[in-house]
């Protein structure tokens, strides 16, 4: 599904990712574990194209995507939930979720099918659909960000530190949603970054430990 | 102060506020999306006014129909808004990854260049084509005779643009993309928004608004060298009072500044220049982010 080969990238002129190599398969959940500043977010931003790749290759289903512009990557089925969640406050939760599908050009039927799938995986969103994006708590925002990433993440879903700031109860709910997602969507590869490995214990199929921009296992 | 003067001051204030809002909206729109404070925005106003007056003179001398006047307003707006807006966007591309202060300086340099371009094309004599004002006639309001153009067209255009822009940003896909880039460019791009294209469109829309303000103002005021600077500082006052990037706020701030400026012209003419800045300073003293702060997601 996703194959990284000797990926290097810089942030503000500083080499952050160093020869990152790894493979992620459809229907699996991959945990990227590392301390703050280890390069977890940069890894996801590099896959998304937000950080330019300096060296190495990224393939999705055998297709090289290095040359794809950042805004073209959602069009090939990569969904991303950033650490800060960024829910647009002028839109309702449902509009927030539909928005990326509209951008990539899905028709109404496709959008509705996708919403139904997301609500099956993250049922907590049902009660929030009509709520304003400005009226969400941090935990709710994380759920919406997950749902929104799933709307276009038909092949790969990247979740950047989704457990950060969640209460234990909410973290448990979020973990259940991830398990639902992995079990019900065998075509999607999920990558989750986290600094606390225990939070993904029992959920992750494989783990990449990242330290100073290098995969150490 | 007698009621006639008060009525006249209020009518002038609302009329001026309409034009000021349209220009300020362009400024705040560009800033909201791109984070660039476009000093050259005043030049768009001036060039829009000059171009409209020139097209008007070319079409009808100083004597012609309303249709010709409307055509010259539309043509002047499109010509200047699109061309100058795109040139500015193109220039700024080279400084995209540079510090914001450098981008500000570039827009200032562009403003200075356009000042000379205006002198080169239109000279230093005033340009003024008021045909449409005369043709639309006057109306009596509370005992005061006032032009229909200033009473209806200027405030009406501002209100229509306000509603169209709000609808566009809230309900159209392109508008939602612009809002998304405004909130968080990287996340918007991650969802598939081509931010470069959005930036270009933003400069065109902002340019059109600036030029439209000048085009609408041209039948009521003489276009003279230096008018760009006058309007840009007033627009800054409106935008800073409202809060950068605020559409509804800009409408209200333009109304406040327009009316108080107009009242000062009739009551204390020597205060005309300082009134907008007194209002802006007072607001910023108590609300440094402007009167209307951005709606933000809860952080708990």
Domains of chain A with bracketed CATH:
2-215 (3.40.50.300)
Give domain status of residue B242, yes or no: yes
Question: Which domain CATH number covers B62?
Answer: 1.10.3470
CB pairs under 8 A between A and B: 77
For β-strands A53-60 and A2-11, DSSP reports them as antiparallel
Amino acid B297: pLDDT: 45
pLDDT band per the 50, 70, 90 thresholds, residue B61: low
Q: How far apart are the first and last CA of chain B?
A: 53
Instruction: Determine the average pLDDT of the residues in B202-207.
Output: 96
Q: Do A74 and B190 touch (CB under 8 A)?
A: yes
pLDDT band per the 50, 70, 90 thresholds, residue B64: low
Q: Chain B, 114-173: which have a CB under 8 Å from a chain A CB?
A: 169-170, 173
Look up the ipTM and state it.
0.90
Domain enclosing residue B82, as ranges: 3-286
pLDDT, one tens digit per residue, over A55-68 is 999 999 999 999 99
Of the candidates A5, A16, A109, which has an alpha carbon nearest to the alpha carbon of residue A62? A5
Amino acid A167: pLDDT: 85
Nearest CA in chain B to A92: B170
Distance from CA of B50 to the nearest CA of A (A): 38
B192: nearest CB among A74, A85, A134: A74
3-class SS letters over chain A? CEEEEEEEEEECCEEEEEEEEEEECCCCEEEEECCCCCCHHHHHHHHHCCCCEEEEEEEECCEECCCCCHHHCHHHCEEEECCCCCCCCCCEHHHHHHHHHHHHCCCHHHHHHHHHHHHHHCHHHHHHCCCEHHHCCHHHHHHHHHHHHHHHCCCEEEEECCCCCCCHHHHHHHHHHHHHHHHHCCCCEEEEEECCHHHHCCCCCEEEEEECCEECC
The encoded tokens of residue A173 equal 């709910």
Pairwise pLDDT comparison (B3 vs B137), residue with the higher score:
B137
Instruction: Determine the average pLDDT of the residues in B241-256.
Output: 90
Amino acid B30: pLDDT: 93
**How does the average pLDDT of chain B come out, rounded?**
91
Amino acid B52: pLDDT: 94
pLDDT at B195 over 70: yes
A90: nearest CB among B179, B190, B300: B179
Give domain status of residue B95, yes or no: yes
Domain count, chain B: 1
Amino acid B298: pLDDT: 42
Amino acid B100: pLDDT: 85
Q: Do B189 and A70 touch (CB under 8 A)?
A: yes
Q: Which of B190, B194, B300 is the best residue to mutate to test the A interface, defined by the most A CB atoms within 10 Å of its own CB?
A: B190
Q: Do B189 and A82 touch (CB under 8 A)?
A: no
pLDDT at B62 over 60: no
Amino acid B58: pLDDT: 86
Q: Do A90 and B192 touch (CB under 8 A)?
A: no
Amino acid B67: pLDDT: 87
Query: Which sign, positive or negative, has the C-alpha torsion B43, B45, B50, B52?
Result: positive
């Amino acid at each position: 599904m996703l194959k990284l080969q000797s990926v290097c990238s810089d942030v503000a002129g500083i080499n952050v990712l160093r020869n990152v190599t790894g493979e992620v398969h459809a229907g699996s959940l991959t945990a990227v574990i590392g301390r703050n500043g280890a390069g977890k977010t940069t890894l996801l931003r590099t896959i998304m194209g937000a950080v330019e790749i300096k060296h190495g290759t990224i393939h999705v289903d055998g297709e090289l995507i290095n040359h794809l512009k950042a805004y073209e990557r959602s069009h090939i089925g990569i969904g991303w939930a950033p650490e800060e969640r960024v829910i647009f406050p002028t839109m309702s939760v449902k509009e927030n979720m539909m928005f990326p599908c509209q951008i990539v050009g899905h028709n109404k039927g496709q959008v509705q099918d996708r919403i139904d799938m997301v609500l099956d995986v993250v049922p907590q969103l049902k009660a929030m659909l009509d709520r304003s994006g400005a009226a969400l708590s941090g935990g709710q925002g994380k759920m919406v960000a997950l749902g929104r990433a799933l709307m276009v993440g038909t092949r790969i879903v990247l979740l950047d530190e989704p457990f950060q700031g969640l209460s234990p109860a909410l973290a448990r709910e979020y973990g259940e949603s991830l398990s639902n997602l992995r079990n019900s969507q065998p075509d999607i590869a999920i990558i989750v970054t986290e600094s606390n490995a225990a939070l993904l214990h029992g959920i992750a199929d494989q783990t990449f430990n990242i330290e100073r921009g290098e995969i150490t296992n | 102060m007698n009621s006639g003067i008060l009525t006249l001051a209020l009518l002038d204030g609302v009329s001026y506020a309409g034009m000021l809002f349209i220009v300020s909206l362009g400024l705040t729109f560009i800033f909201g999306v791109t984070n660039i404070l476009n000093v050259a925005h005043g030049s768009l106003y001036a060039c829009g006014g000059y171009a409209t007056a020139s097209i008007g003179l070319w079409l009808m001398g100083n004597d012609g129909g309303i249709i010709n006047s409307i055509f010259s307003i539309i043509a002047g707006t499109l010509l200047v808004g699109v061309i100058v807006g795109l040139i500015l966007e193109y220039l700024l591309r080279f400084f995209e990854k540079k510090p914001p202060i450098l981008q500000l300086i570039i827009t200032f340099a562009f403003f200075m260049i356009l000042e000379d371009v205006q002198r080169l094309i239109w000279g230093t004599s005033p340009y003024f084509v008021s045909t449409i004002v005369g043709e639309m006639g006057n109306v009596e309001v509370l005992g005061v005779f006032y032009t229909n153009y200033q009473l209806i067209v200027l405030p009406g255009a501002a209100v229509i643009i306000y509603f169209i822009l709000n609808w566009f940003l809230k309900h159209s896909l392109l508008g939602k993309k612009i809002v998304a880039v405004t909130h968080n460019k990287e996340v918007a791009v991650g969802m598939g928004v081509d931010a470069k294209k959005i930036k270009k469109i933003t400069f065109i829309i902002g340019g059109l608004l600036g030029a439209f303000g000048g085009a609408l103002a041209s039948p009521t005021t003489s276009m003279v060298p230096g008018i760009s600077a006058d309007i840009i500082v007033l627009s800054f006052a409106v935008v800073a009072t409202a809060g950068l990037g605020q559409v509804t706020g800009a409408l209200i701030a333009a109304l406040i500044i327009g009316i108080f400026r107009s009242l000062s012209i009739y009551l204390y003419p020597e205060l005309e220049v300082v009134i907008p800045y007194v209002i802006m300073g007072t607001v910023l003293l108590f609300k440094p982010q402007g009167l209307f702060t951005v709606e933000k997601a809860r952080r708990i």
